[in-house]
Amino acid sequence: MTDLTRTSPPQEEGRSARKRRAIMEAATELFLRNGYQGTSMDEVATLAAVSKQTVYKQFTDKEQLFSAIIIGATERVGDFTDVVTEFAGTEDLEKDLGELARRYITAVIQPRTLQLRRLLIAEAGRFPAVARDYYQRAPGRTIDAFTETFRKLAGRGLLRIDDPSMAAGHFAWLILAQPMDKAMFFDEELQHTPTDLQRFADEGVRVFLAAYRT
């Protein structure tokens, strides 16, 4: 009896986690399709195939659910910033910066990521704290990583940089600006081929190095 008692909580946690994931996936689909105002908790429960009571057990209200979805989208940012940090030790600046740029644009220019970004921008006035938190956890954290790495590369004499933070912003937008800007307005711009992304990345690196390489 003791063994059964000990194994029961993990099973309960597993079911709870599955229901939570189903709720978040359903809510994400509805928010992206209908907007925040156009989505109800009843609709979320129906699409997730759970009771309304279960939805409210996981999330106090629609605001908390929306926040969890947006912040959840930043969970893997640390994986990329670790790569940026490691780049500071490069022995082949142009080759490795090109690879870093291609990984960067591939991670960011994804349909679901771009759709959530559009959703958050549309609701930033309603959720300023969520928007601020998202920025700090995702774009801001990435720019900070670029800033520190470019500072180290300048210290090694590989880049000519007076303002690493400004250089980090230049690098990010040379890589992302064109595909991201269009994706904010046009659904058909949400998807790009690997060839498209490589072209944006490589051209951005070429211009960046023309400006900053020693």
Rounded to two decimals, what is the model's pTM? 0.87
The helix/strand/coil state of 109 is coil
Mean of the pLDDT values across residues 157-168? 98
Q: How far is residue 52's CA from residue 191's CA, in Å, rounded to a whole number?
A: 34
Please give the backbone phi and psi of residue 24, each rounded to the nearest 5 degrees, phi first.
Answer: -65, -40
Supply the pLDDT for residue 9: 45
Q: How far is residue 143's CA from residue 81's CA, in Å, rounded to a whole number?
A: 9
Q: Dump pLDDT digits (tens) for 114-138.
A: 999 999 999 999 999 999 999 999 9
Asked if the 73-212 domain carries CATH number 3.30.450.20, the reply is: no
| CATH architecture designation of domain 2-69 | Orthogonal Bundle (1.10)
At residue 13 the predicted structure's pLDDT band, cuts being 50, 70 and 90, is low
CB 58 within 8 A of CB 19: yes
Structure tokens at 75: 């969970």
The CATH 1.10.357.10 domain(s) of the chain lie at 73-212
Q: How far is residue 25's CA from residue 44's CA, in Å, rounded to a whole number?
A: 9
CA 57 to chain centre: 27
CA distances from 60 to 57, 64, 94 (A): 7, 6, 50
CB 123 within 8 A of CB 66: yes
CB 69 within 8 A of CB 134: no
More confident residue, 14 or 120: 120
More confident residue, 204 or 11: 204
Q: How far is residue 119's CA from residue 106's CA, in Å, rounded to a whole number?
A: 20
**Is it the case that residue 175 has pLDDT exceeding 70?**
yes
DSSP designation for 50? S
Nearest to 146 by CA among 122, 128, 126, 172: 172
How many residues belong to the chain? 214
Residue with tokens 């930043």: 74
* Residue percentage of the chain with pLDDT more than 90: 89
